[in-house]
Chains A and B, each alone.
Chain A
Amino acid sequence: MSKYLIIIILMVLSWQTVAVNITVKNTKDEPMANAVVWLTTKNGSEIITPPDTPYAMSQKDREFTPRILVVPQNAKVEFPNADSIMHHVYSFSKAKTFELKLYKEQPKAPLVFEQTGVVELGCNIHDWMLGYIVVVDSTIFAITDEAGKVDLTASKGEYTLNVWHSGFSDISNVESEDVSVSSKPLTYKIKQTLTEQIEFATDEFDDY
């Protein structure tokens, strides 16, 4: 009975769904790419049902692809290895501690990420590989593009806007702000300077 009630409520709410455009800027007012943005409802009434199909954090050309993956709580994530060599992926993060030895064309069963938080990934063989899985208590999330923008679809109402970036000095920290969602675009300016991300010129012969 309650299921039907929820569906009816959702249907009614969906009539008020809007596309909200959010821009994230850094302390110098420049657009900030690769920031994870998600909205959580103020009263915590959002029902998080992760999709049945698993998300994927691949390893390609000795890098994590994508570098940053956002998933809702309890989502399944698989780790396909697209390289011809082995990877030994691990995490010591509180939100999920694990290790997986991944061979080419020998997929392992997906992992379930039950706890929210930032999971920092490394490879024990290729120590320059660094990736993140951000587990959020929301299904309304996206990563900013080069213009620092995301388009989220949400019902009108009061939310907490959450922003995370891998350049935060404490990567387990999230910046948040209460927002009122309508069709009006929003801008969020982060409160800290980012640690600069270093790009490495790696290739197929660098693990020697």
Chain B
Amino acid sequence: MITSNLLRLALLSCTVLFSNALSAQVKGLLQVRAVQGDDLLSWQEGGIGLYRHDSKSDELILSQAILDFNIDLASSWSAHGVANLNQDPDVGLGFTQAYIKYQPLSNSDYKWHIRVGGFYPLMSLENPDIGWTSPYNYTNSAINSWIGEELRTVGAEVTIKRPAKRFNSPHSFSLVGATFKGNDPTGTLLSWRGFAMHDRQTTFNEGVRFAPVAALNDFALRWQANHVLPFEEVDGRFGYYGGVHWDYLKKSQFRIYYYNNNGDPTKLNISTGQYAWDTRFTSVAWLYKFNKKTRFIAQALNGKTEMGDNKLIDNAFYSHYFMLSHKEGKNRVSLRYDYFEVTDNDITAFDPNSSHGEGLTASWRYAFSKNGQIGIEGSALKSFVENRVAMGLQQRASQQQIMINTQWKF
């Protein structure tokens, strides 16, 4: 429903574009990679591997195909959309973002704007590039891998900003508030798979499948489908989030958000097999530029998720990462450490949800032309996931992945 509305919105925007010949900015990214993947089957294929790729994908893969458009509807109105073509796990085309923005031109020193549609809350500082990709590592942090796969706002967001320059002050502040529908199943993957590390964003029309988690065979979870449709509306309630951005000379950028999908854990959509999970968390992100070349980025996420009657599933989750990135001419080198954990707080014995792990990712990117870039990345992670035992697998896993990427932006 939401998806079809968004597509309609996008189509409408395109119609307006071509009928009135309005101005538009269209940007794109094509990225192809060769991967030396790990033996563990990827979560994308129903495995327990926490990377996007596995040894099955030791071939060329179209890792990103993104079209990002920004259409002027009027002086203060614009339509934005990001379409993604994916090859894995199945070939599919969809939108990861589609929204209308109203940003009035005003003589006031304070600025404000509204976004209505489907979009990311801007709580992270790792993904400022086209289509919410990262200019730093190819494989996203555990936090932003999860946000990319299970978090999206389909609603309305208001931002009020006090821009530093207008006040001749070194400090900028923004207040952000949003309310939304959908996104009720968010938290599902954290409970049954745990955090993962990848750059595969879920489009509005996609689901993400699970490994053969034994608990899903239990009578209590008989309605649960073997995949999650993360952006579905299940309980009819509105969720909300609020955030504050604080910039100091743009040298230090700090963001804090509280998100609550306000899910009713007792509600279930039997026809789609999706539960509403009551998921709420706080995210804190910080970017600091030591100089023009070197920067530090960190983020921490701490929250809880609950599903089913009488706290059938009640989990806490936490993750953080630290990243150091250095740009020297046409080269950028980025190194990141991730930590992640899920704690099972319920007494449901048949469904253990605890997991934890850590990862190290190092990337080097080289711009060989204005639009072209090549890069390599090596990543290693180790994880412990409690429910792997019931699948007849080791709880502990150690994984490595090496990839060569080439990309073209326009």
Q: Chain A: residues with CB nearer than 8 A to chain B?
A: 84-86, 88, 90, 92, 99, 101, 103-104, 106, 122, 124-125, 127-130, 195-196, 198-203, 205-208
20 contacts across the A-B interface (CB closer than 8 A): A84-B27, A85-B25, A99-B75, A101-B23, A101-B72, A103-B23, A124-B103, A124-B105, A127-B161, A128-B165, A128-B172, A198-B165, A198-B169, A198-B170, A198-B249, A200-B249, A200-B250, A201-B292, A203-B289, A205-B135
Closest-CB distance, A121 to chain B (whole angstroms): 12
Given A200-B249, A205-B128, A206-B250, check contact A92 B107 (CB 8 Å). yes
Question: When the two chains form the complex, which single residue of A104, A122, A128 contacts B250, counting CB atoms closer than 8 Å?
Answer: A128
| Chain B residues numbered 276-332 whose CB sits less than 8 Å from any CB in chain A | 289, 292
Closest-CB distance, B232 to chain A (whole angstroms): 27
Query: B105 contacts A203, CB within 8 Å?
Result: no
Question: When the two chains form the complex, which single residue of A88, A103, A202 contacts B105, counting CB atoms closer than 8 Å?
Answer: A88
For the complex, count residues of B whose C-beta is within 8 A of A.
31
A127 to B160 Cα, complex, angstroms = 12
Closest-CB distance, A141 to chain B (whole angstroms): 26
Query: B129 contacts A200, CB within 8 Å?
Result: no
Query: A86 contacts B250, CB within 8 Å?
Result: no
Closest to B22 in A: A101
Query: B250 contacts A127, CB within 8 Å?
Result: no
Query: A203 contacts B292, CB within 8 Å?
Result: yes
Question: When the two chains form the complex, which single residue of A85, A90, A92, A195 contacts B168, counting CB atoms closer than 8 Å?
Answer: A195
Closest to A92 in B: B107
Query: B168 contacts A198, CB within 8 Å?
Result: yes
Closest to A84 in B: B27
Given A90-B105, A99-B105, A128-B250, check contact A198 B292 (CB 8 Å). no
Closest-CB distance, B369 to chain A (whole angstroms): 14
Query: A200 contacts B107, CB within 8 Å?
Result: no
Is B389 interfacial (CB-CB < 8 Å)?
no
Identify 5 new A-B residue pairs, CB closer than 8 A, beyond the known A198-B164, A206-B250: A84-B27, A101-B23, A103-B23, A106-B23, A208-B127
Query: A208 contacts B165, CB within 8 Å?
Result: no
Chain B residues with Cβ below 8 Å from A84 are: 27
Question: When the two chains form the complex, which single residue of A88, A106, A125, A130 contacts B165, counting CB atoms closer than 8 Å?
Answer: A130
Closest-CB distance, B123 to chain A (whole angstroms): 11
Is B220 interfacial (CB-CB < 8 Å)?
no
A20 to B128 Cα, complex, angstroms = 50
Chain B residues with Cβ below 8 Å from A195 are: 168
A196 to B70 Cα, complex, angstroms = 37
Chain A residues with Cβ below 8 Å from B251 are: 200-201
Query: A202 contacts B25, CB within 8 Å?
Result: no
Mask of B61-104 contacts with A, CB within 8 angstroms, 1/0: 00000000010100100000000000000000000000000010
Chain A residues with Cβ below 8 Å from B250 are: 128, 200-203, 206
Mask of B112-136 contacts with A, CB within 8 angstroms, 1/0: 0000000000100101110000010
Given A200-B249, A201-B289, A201-B292, check contact A208 B72 (CB 8 Å). no
Query: A200 contacts B135, CB within 8 Å?
Result: no
A103 to B253 Cα, complex, angstroms = 27
Is B227 interfacial (CB-CB < 8 Å)?
no
Closest-CB distance, A195 to chain B (whole angstroms): 6
A84 to B169 Cα, complex, angstroms = 28
Closest to A199 in B: B249
A114 to B292 Cα, complex, angstroms = 40
Closest-CB distance, A20 to chain B (whole angstroms): 33
Query: B122 contacts A208, CB within 8 Å?
Result: yes
Is B111 interfacial (CB-CB < 8 Å)?
yes
Query: B135 contacts A201, CB within 8 Å?
Result: no
Is B163 interfacial (CB-CB < 8 Å)?
yes
Chain A residues with Cβ below 8 Å from B103 are: 124-125
Closest-CB distance, A180 to chain B (whole angstroms): 37
Closest to A99 in B: B105
Is B166 interfacial (CB-CB < 8 Å)?
yes
Chain A residues with Cβ below 8 Å from B289 are: 201, 203
Chain B residues with Cβ below 8 Å from A85 are: 25
Query: A86 contacts B168, CB within 8 Å?
Result: no
Chain B residues with Cβ below 8 Å from A206 are: 128, 250, 253
Question: When the two chains form the complex, which single residue of A92, A101, A201, A205 contacts B249, counting CB atoms closer than 8 Å?
Answer: A201
A163 to B361 Cα, complex, angstroms = 56
Question: When the two chains form the complex, which single residue of B111, B129, B161, B164 contacts A205, counting CB atoms closer than 8 Å?
Answer: B129
Closest-CB distance, B225 to chain A (whole angstroms): 34
Question: When the two chains form the complex, which single residue of A90, A103, A127, A205 contacts B163, counting CB atoms closer than 8 Å?
Answer: A127
Closest to B289 in A: A201
Chain A residues with Cβ below 8 Å from B105 are: 88, 90, 99, 124
Query: A128 contacts B70, CB within 8 Å?
Result: no
